[in-house]
Amino acid sequence: CDILTVTNQLIANGNIGRAGGREYVAALPGSVPFASNYPVYIDLVRDLSVKRRMILSLDSVIDLCFNSDHEAEQLIELAAQRIMHIREEGESTGLLPIGSVLSARINELGAISRGERPQPIQIGFPSLNRVLGGLRKGGLYILASRPGVGKSALSLNIAHNAAFHRGAVVAMFSLEMSKEEVAMRLLSSKTMMSFQQLESLDVKDKEAWDMIGKGLGDLYSVPIYIDDHSSINVVEIHARCRQLQLQKQKLDLVIVDYLQLMGTATSRSRAENRQQQIAEISRMLKVMARDLEVPVLALSQLSREVDRAGRRPRLADLRESGAIEQDADVVMFLHDPNRQEEEASYLQETSEIDLIIEKNRQGERMTVTLDWNPRILTFTETFYRGTPEPPPPSAPGL
């Protein structure tokens, strides 16, 4: 029946007044939900659900504000971490047909080929670019080694290649070195002068000063942004990257040096197993990469067992957590096959270092040989010398 029939029936049986009158009855159809509007109703319910989860999740943080001796900074980090988890949970849009997924991806690839969208970050080493296809947005890349093999230097080489040659905006978080050390390492590589030469310049050495002037000119406007806070955590890194992304209208690569120096929002407030902390950090780095839609290159330490056993590193040698290898899209190891001791050979002449791609979610595993010049902290690849790796013995799904 329609509204006119209902109105006439109410008038006939004398109930129109009790129903609210003609105007009220006439307005009722406008308040009835229509099936055609169900997407709007679903969004409203989802929005209310997220708000409810936020209230429940942050209620305990509010309680800690009143009833604990936690520092304000700790509570801010904890609140931000919980909100980030809620956001991650809400990212899923449910099951999608493979056709629509493939169609969207092919359209994206077409836009990349036409120059309408940026390509994956090319990192300056032909073999790596070929095997990895560049550093892809949303990917977590782990670069690990024992101390002194050159992982920080390689990460800076990658940052420079991406920023100087491709105009990529790079955020560099250095938990071990100061921003001055990072900048001077970049200048050393650019000028081909050793760190020691730069730190002990003769005021009369015109040639050296000319080289520095040229190097400084080349690097001055390169979009590499350095943060050297030694106690930073993933929540803070995420927030600062988001701020940089908004300021520069782009962000192409995030580098963290290194993973085991990071803390979590909860680690200072209660005793917690270090493996659990590293697992949490690893997972949050992956979430950050996907949320910001940028590749994240995180440096990591390897276990001492690699040096003691005198062998090539493997996934099990990632220090303090197996979760790193699970979250990572790519795991790479720097390995000096001629290294005898941890202290040896830092200032030796140019040598060959193996870059082992031990895990590659999107492609083959391979060992690439790079030329390492520790005097100027620079890796180069003269020509392609990659050798395929045998299939990994690790568990399915890694």
Q: Give the model confidence (pLDDT) of 224-246 as tens digits.
A: 899 988 888 888 888 888 888 88
pLDDT computed for residue 78 by the predictor: 75
Whether the per-residue pLDDT at 18 is higher than 50: the answer is yes
Contact 341, 158 (CB under 8 A): no
Average pLDDT in the 68-80 region? 74
pLDDT computed for residue 296 by the predictor: 93
pLDDT computed for residue 1 by the predictor: 57
Beta strand extents in the chain (DSSP E only): 140-145, 170-174, 224-227, 253-257, 296-301, 330-335, 351-360, 366-373, 378-380, 387-388
Distances (CA, A) of 255 to 62, 129, 159, 306: 33, 17, 8, 24
Contact 48, 77 (CB under 8 A): no
pLDDT computed for residue 246 by the predictor: 83
pLDDT computed for residue 209 by the predictor: 82
Least confident interval from 4-13, 166-175, 340-349: 340-349
Across 140-144, 342-346, 380-384, the highest mean pLDDT is recorded for 140-144
**Peptide bond preceding 258: is omega within 30 degrees of 0, i.e. cis?**
yes
The amino acid present at 74, given as its one-letter code, is Q
Average pLDDT in the 335-344 region? 63
Domain architecture of the chain: domains with CATH: 3-89 (no CATH), 120-388 (3.40.50.300)
Other C-beta atoms closer than 10 Å to the C-beta of 147 total 16
220 pLDDT band, cuts 50/70/90, is confident
11 pLDDT band, cuts 50/70/90, is confident
Choice between 88 and 161, residue whose per-residue pLDDT is larger = 161
Least confident interval from 97-101, 120-124, 299-303, 323-327: 97-101
Give the DSSP letter string of 17-70. Answer: TTTT-HHHHHHGGGGS--GGGHHHHHHHHHHHHHHHHHHHHHHHHHHHHHH---
193 pLDDT band, cuts 50/70/90, is confident
Share of the chain above pLDDT 70, in %: 78
- Cα 40 to Cα 335: distance, rounded to the nearest angstrom: 55
The amino acid present at 313, given as its one-letter code, is P
Distance, first Cα to last Cα, the chain: 61
Check residue 283 and report its DSSP letter.
Answer: H
- Cα 3 to Cα 23: distance, rounded to the nearest angstrom: 11
Average pLDDT in the 134-142 region? 88
Q: Is residue 132 classed as helix, strand or coil in its secondary structure?
A: helix
What's the residue count for the chain? 398
Q: Which residues fall within 8 angstroms of residue 235, CB to CB, at 6 or more apart?
A: 77, 80, 81, 84, 265, 284
pLDDT computed for residue 297 by the predictor: 93
Average pLDDT score, the chain: 77
| Partners of 297 in beta bridges | 141, 255
- Cα 345 to Cα 350: distance, rounded to the nearest angstrom: 10
Whether the per-residue pLDDT at 219 is higher than 80: the answer is yes
Choice between 335 and 304, residue whose per-residue pLDDT is larger = 335
Whether the per-residue pLDDT at 250 is higher than 80: the answer is yes
Whether the per-residue pLDDT at 34 is higher than 60: the answer is no
pLDDT computed for residue 4 by the predictor: 66
Match 């899209």 to its residue by tokens: 329
For 181-192, letters b (16+ CB in 10 Å) and e give ebbbbbbbbbbe
pLDDT computed for residue 397 by the predictor: 43
pTM: 0.68
Q: Which tokens sit at 159? A: 């940052």
Of 328, 194, 183, 173, nearest to 240 (Cα)? Answer: 173
pLDDT computed for residue 255 by the predictor: 93
Q: Is residue 284 classed as helix, strand or coil in its secondary structure?
A: helix
Whether the per-residue pLDDT at 197 is higher than 50: the answer is yes
Whether the per-residue pLDDT at 398 is higher than 50: the answer is no
Contact 289, 140 (CB under 8 A): yes
Whether the per-residue pLDDT at 178 is higher than 80: the answer is yes
